[in-house]
Chains A and B, each alone.
Chain A
Amino acid sequence: MSSKSLTLNNISKRFGNVTALDNFNLEVGVGELVALLGPSGCGKTTALRVVAGLEHQDKGTVLVAEKNISDVPAHKRNMGMVFQAYSLFPNLTVEENVAFGLQMRKVNKSVRLKKAHQLLDLVGLDSQSKRFTHQLSGGQQQRVALARALAFEPEILLLDEPLSALDAQVRVNLREEIRRLQLSLGTTTLFVTHDQEEAMAISDRVGVMNQGVLEQIDTPDALYNKPTSSFVAGFVGTMNRIPAQISDGMVEIFGSKVVALKRGNESGQVVALIRPESISVIANSSQPNAKVLTRSFMGASSNIICQTGDGTIVQSLMTSASTGELHPGSSVQLRVLSSEVLVANV
C-alpha cells in the first residue's frame, strides 16, 4: 500500500483582499477519509488545491508522510484528483484516460492497459473501455475519473466535489462506491463537499470550515451531537435556535429547566440550540405553549413546525405514528427531550 499521511501546518492563502485560508491546520491519518465541509467561499477547495499543488500557499507547509512537499510541483506530487466534472480528456478513450497517469510515469503500454482494466473493473466500467468519454453518462464519467485518479496508486486521493454535478440517485450510489473503493485500497483521502449528508455518510472524520479556518474536526457522530461552536451547530443538520434565560448553569425552555452545555453568558438572555428530534410536540395538553403551523409527512417520520407564544418558530421531528393528532392550528405543548442543551450568546 502506497498510502501516506497528510499534514497541513499553518497554511495561509489570500486572493487579493480575500483570505481563503487563515493559519489552517489539518491532519489526515494513513488510510483515513476526511471530508472538508463548509459553505461556498469557506476555503475548503483552496485547501485541497494547495495539497494538490495547483495553488501555492502564501505561508505554511504541506507534509506527506512527514516529508515537506510545499514546493514540489503538482505533477510530481503523486496525488490522484477527481474534479467536479468535465475533467476527462475528450481525445482519449476510457482506457487511455485511466492509463494516462501511468503513461506519464513511462510505464509500458501492456502494463498500463492491464492496470487500467483492473481499475475499470473495480468501478464496473470495463465493458466501456474502448468508448470515448462523451459517450458516457455523467455518473460513468466520474467513475472513469475516479479510476484514472487511482490507477497510478497515488499517495493521497483528492476529491473536489466529485458528486455535485450528478443526479440525486447516482450521487448516493457513487458516494458509496467511492467509500468502498477507498476502504479496499486503503487510500488516504481528502474529500471536499458542501453537502453535509455526503460528508457525514462516508467520512471517518469531517472538518467543518468557516472563513478560512477549521471550526471543528470530528467524527460525524460527534459533529452532530457535540458541536463545539454555534456555527457548526447551525451548519450541520437542522438546529432550532430558541431564545431562553440562563442562570446558574441552567436554561429555562418551554417552562422547564435544562442544563446548559456550553455557556455563553453566565446569566441573562441566550439562545438554546436544540435538534428537531430533541423536541416533542404533545397534543391535547392542559398547558399549551405553542400552535402547530404545518405538519409534513416524510414516511417513517414527520416534520412539525410550531410557533410559540412569543413568535419563535420551532421545528420538531417525530415518528409519524405519534403525530396523528397534530393538525395545523391546533394548540400543543412543546417539551425538550434532552437533559442538556447547547447554549450560545444572542
Chain B
Amino acid sequence: MADAQAIGRPRTSLNVGNFLRRYAALSAIVVLLAFNFAVTPNFATWQTLNVNLTQVATIVIVSVGMTLVIATGGIDLSVGSLMAISGALAPLIFLSPFGRDHLAIGNILAFVVPIGVAGLLGLFNGWFITRFRVQPIVATLVLFIAGRGIGQVITNGNLQTFKNPSFQFIGLGRVFGLPCQVLVMLAMVAAAAWMLRRTLFGRQILAVGGNEKAARLAGVPVAPVKRWVYAISGLCAGVAGLVVVSINSSSDANLVGLGMELDAIAAVAVGGTPFTGGRATVVGSLLGALLIQLLRYTLLANGVPDAAALVVKGAIIAGAVWSQQRSMPS
C-alpha cells in the first residue's frame, strides 16, 4: 500500500489488531466481498464489477484532489459546483456551430477548456485562501455557492442533451473491457500517489500540512504549494464533471456533481487521511470510496432501501474516524 508516509519501515512488527486498524478500509472491503460472493445473487460477474466501478469512478477522481487539499490541512467544498461548470461548458463547445463544423477540434476543446476553467477556478480558491488568509472552508464555500449559479447562467438554466460518441468515450467507452473512466480514475490515483511520495511538490504538500511554520522557515514556498493543490483539486473536479455528463448524455447544471464534495470528503476520511494535514494516502481514498460504494451496493442488492443505506454510510464514516484515532499514537 502506497501510504505516503510509510515508506519501507522495517521497525515494528505489526500485530493483527494494528494491521486491522491500519488497513481498516481494505479489511472491510475484503469482508464485504466475501459476504457478497456467498450471499448476493449474480455478484461474481463482470457486469457487477463494471457497474460498481463506473459509479465510484467520479467520486474517486474528485477525492484524489481532495486528498491533496486535506493533506495541506485544508478542505475544498467547491468541487461539486466546479463539476457542474465543467459539465455545462463541454456541450456548449461541441454543440456550438464551430464545434459542429470542426468535430475533432471541437471535441478536443470540449475536454481542454472545461478542465482548464475548473483548474483556474481551483487556483482562484487557492489564491483567495493564501492572499487573504481566509479559512479554506469559508473560501471554497464561495465557489460552492456561486459555481452552480455560474453553471446555470452559462446554459441559461437549460438541460443540454446530446449524442456525441467520441466525446462520450470518457464516460461510455471501454478499453480492454474496462470502462474508460475507471482507467482514468486508476491513472489519476497512481499519478497522485507517485507524486505525493516521490516528488518535491508532494513532499512539500505534506510538509505544509505537517507544520506550516516550520515548512516556511525551511524555505518551502507555502502559498504557491497551497495554490497549486487547490488548482489540482479543481482539475480533478473538471475531469469528473465531463465523465458525469458523458454517462448521462445530458448536462444539467442543477444536478451535476450535487453533493459530490461530501462524498469525496467521506472517501478521504474513510481512507485514513487525517484532516489535520501532514499525512495522506491517495490509495486509501480510493479504498474508502470503494468501501462506501460496495457497502451501498450490498445493501441495495439485498433489498435494503437506499434511505437506510445512507445511515450505514454515516456509521462507516464514524467508524473510520474512530479507528483512525485508535491507531494514532497520542
Question: A and B: real partners?
Answer: no
